[in-house]
Amino acid sequence: MTAKIKKILVNDFQISIDRNKDEDYISLTDMANAKDGENRAADIIKNWIRNRGTIEFLGTWEMLNNPNFKVVEFDHFKKEAGLPTFVLSVSQWVEQTGAIGIMSKLGKYGGTYAHKDIAFEFGSAISPVFKLYLIKEYQRLKEVESNQFNLEWDVKRILTKANYSIHTDAIKNHILPSLNISKDKEWITYAEEADVLNVALFGCTAKQWKQANPQLALDGKNMRDFASINELTVLSNLEVLNSELIKNKLPKLQRFQYLHKMAIQQKAVLDDNSSMKALKKMSDDTFLNEGKRLND
């Protein structure tokens, strides 16, 4: 199974969901197969899309969500819809109107996929009861993903705080002894070193962030509370890395330049590799088995 494809179990049928440009697209082919078997899925979709009500729904959805939608071509299809001679395929609809709400995919997980809004409408056409079960399982998937994300963020935040102790310990043992400052001024050094990391990763100091976000600052928030999971991962790495650079007595500017370079490289890798964004994801088989248990 590809990283983007997820499956939910609806009345003992697996329905594929493809993540495309941060939007979920549900397999109409799987839905049609669940209703009438694999041999008739293509015909069911073709008959549905040539319906006048479907054309109007699809066109309206595109006008609301797709600035590049070709309205003139849509009007042509709408006029032809309902005539005995009118035939329309998904590929024709997409190619001639520039539609983005529905698409055909090739390969192992190929078939016709549609944005969740359109997929639920298709569900109404083939079976209102099946649609209700589909919505229920889709919502459960979103809840699981949300819980995983929140748990992962909390773990990363805790790890970052733990590594910060390593960072401050290096400052205490390898920077402060060489400075002729009083005990009550030591916090300035800790803050300056924290800002080395902040600027290397976030591009601003803690003070600059507070000035740009005064209300959040009043509420006791800081920039790290709003960092992404990938940013927290990189920050945790930078804290350990900087502590080693401090121990090796590298000058602050040299450390900053190296840390900034590492921050860019590591974040690029994490942002490009979705498998690195989670500490642990529930496997698809586990998710499907849990769905089957709840349906039984």
Q: What is the pTM of this model?
A: 0.51
Asked if residue 133 is part of any domain, the answer here is: no
Asked whether residue 223 is domain-assigned, the answer is yes
Would residue 203 count as lying in a domain?
A: yes
| 287 is a domain residue | no
In a shared domain, residues 162 and 270: yes
113 with 172, same domain? no
Both tokens assigned to 9: 């179990």
Tell me which residue of 113, 116, 117, 133 sits closest to 35, measured CA to CA. 133
- Per-residue pLDDT tens over the stretch 59-105: 999 999 999 999 999 999 998 887 888 888 899 999 999 999 999 88
Nearest one of 192, 184, 185 to 167, comparing CA atoms: 192
| Domain count across the chain | 2
27 found inside a domain: yes
State the pLDDT at residue 221. 82
Domain that holds residue 231: 146-276
- Strand-strand pairing, 111-115 and 5-10: unpaired
Query: Above 90 in pLDDT, residue 7?
Result: no
CA 244 – CA 207 distance, rounded (Å): 26
Rounded alpha-carbon distances, angstroms, from residue 100 to 46, 70, 81, 177:
17, 11, 20, 62
The answer on 262 and 180 residing in a single domain is: yes
Tokens of 169: 């310990």
Residues 211 and 106 in one domain: no
Q: How many CA atoms lie within 13 A of 158 on its CB side?
A: 7
12 vs 162: which has the higher pLDDT: 12
In a domain, 70, yes or no: yes
**Contact (CB, 8 A) for 227 and 248:** no
- Does 271 lie in the same domain as 150? yes
Q: At what angle do helices 90-97 and 41-49 cross, to 10 degrees?
A: 40
The pLDDT tens digits for 106-131 are 777 678 999 999 999 999 988 888 89
DSSP for 106-148, written as a single string: -STT-EEEEEHHHHHHHHHHH-HHHHHHHHHHHHHHHHHHHHH
